[in-house]
Amino acid sequence: EIVLTQSPVSLPVTPGEPASISCRSSHSLLNSNGFNYLDWYVQKAGQPPRLLIYLASSRASGVPDRFSGSGSRTDFTLEISSVQTDDFGVYYCVQAQQRPPTFGQGTKVEIK
């Protein structure tokens, strides 16, 4: 089973400032087709997660362009260029390379 480790666990951010979350994988997520099988989600209290980024860097439908994903193999980053009040919540990375898909432990982005 692939283990994903996110950092930091908690990220206080002032609205308008940038934010960055790291996700490290115990195995390479670079597929032979050239794509990295890593997704990002955000979850707010009482709601299901929402897909933000898939294949490491592709924004899902309707996701603002202040969200960007990067990285390859075992090291990935989610960046928010300017955090808005609607962006506060828990962010998860997920590997889609092999079953079972596994989730990082989450990073809570909160108001500073």
Partner 1 sequence: QVQMLQSGPGLVKPSQTLSLTCSVSGVSIISGGYYWTWIRQHPGKGLEWIGDIDYDGKSHSNPSLESRVTLSRDASQFFLNLHSVTAADTATYYCARGLLLFSDYVGAFEVWGQGTVVTVSS
Cβ distance to partner 1 smaller for residue 58 or 82: 58
Q: Which residues contact partner 1 (rule: CB under 8 A)? A: 31, 33, 35, 37, 39, 41, 47-51, 54-55, 60-61, 92, 94-106
Least separation in angstroms between residue 97's CB and partner 1 is 8
Rounded CA-CA distance 13/82 in Å is 10
Q: How far apart are the first and last CA of the chain?
A: 35
**Among 19, 32, 1, 12, CA closest to 95:** 1
**In the complex, minimum distance from the CB of residue 71 to partner 1, in angstroms, rounded to a whole number:** 15
